[in-house]
């Protein structure tokens, strides 16, 4: 990269910083091999202006777990309703505690996973 194009890119990065588009400026500065670009990147990171994006793999893993737990919670709900329908016969009363236990177990884990996702997105 020649001096003139480097200067143009640094000028563009400066404009982005002045317009408070810090993430765009960071993306541009990373591509510039120049001491000034490295200094500006360090300043942006020191000021904690550049928002860190969550790890896509972790986010996808949490989303997959949430989807799985939601399905399990829905299945436990169906089992509970089935137990209510069978309660006049007596069979439902035996299975009902198990269905309620599973429902609340999946509901609590689902809430924990949603909190983890929010924390990951807010980093």
Alpha carbon distance 57, 54 (integer Å):
9
Give the distance, in angstroms, between the CA of residue 89 and the centroid of all CA atoms in the same chain: 46
Asked if the model's pLDDT at residue 84 lies above 60, the reply is: yes
**3-class secondary-structure state, position 32:** coil
Question: Which of 8-17, 68-77, 79-88 has the least mean pLDDT?
Answer: 79-88
What is the pLDDT, as a whole number, of residue 5? 82
Give the distance, in angstroms, between the CA of residue 122 and the centroid of all CA atoms in the same chain: 8
Q: What is the mean pLDDT of residues 81-100?
A: 81
pTM over 0.75: no
Asked if the model's pLDDT at residue 101 lies above 70, the reply is: yes
What is the pLDDT, as a whole number, of residue 54? 66
What is the pLDDT, as a whole number, of residue 112? 92
């Amino acid at each position: 990269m020649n001096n003139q194009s480097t200067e143009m890119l640094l000028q563009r990065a400066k404009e982005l910083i002045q317009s408070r588009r810090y993430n765009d400026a960071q993306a541009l500065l990373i591509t510039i091999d120049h001491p000034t670009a490295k200094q500006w990147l360090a300043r942006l990171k020191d000021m904690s202006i550049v928002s860190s994006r969550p790890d896509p793999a972790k986010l996808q893993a949490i989303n997959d777990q949430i989807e799985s737990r939601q399905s399990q919670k829905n299945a436990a709900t169906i089992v509970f309703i089935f137990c209510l329908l069978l309660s006049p016969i007596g069979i439902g009363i035996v299975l009902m505690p198990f269905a309620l236990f599973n429902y609340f177990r999946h509901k609590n884990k689902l809430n924990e996973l949603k909190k983890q996702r929010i924390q990951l997105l807010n980093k």
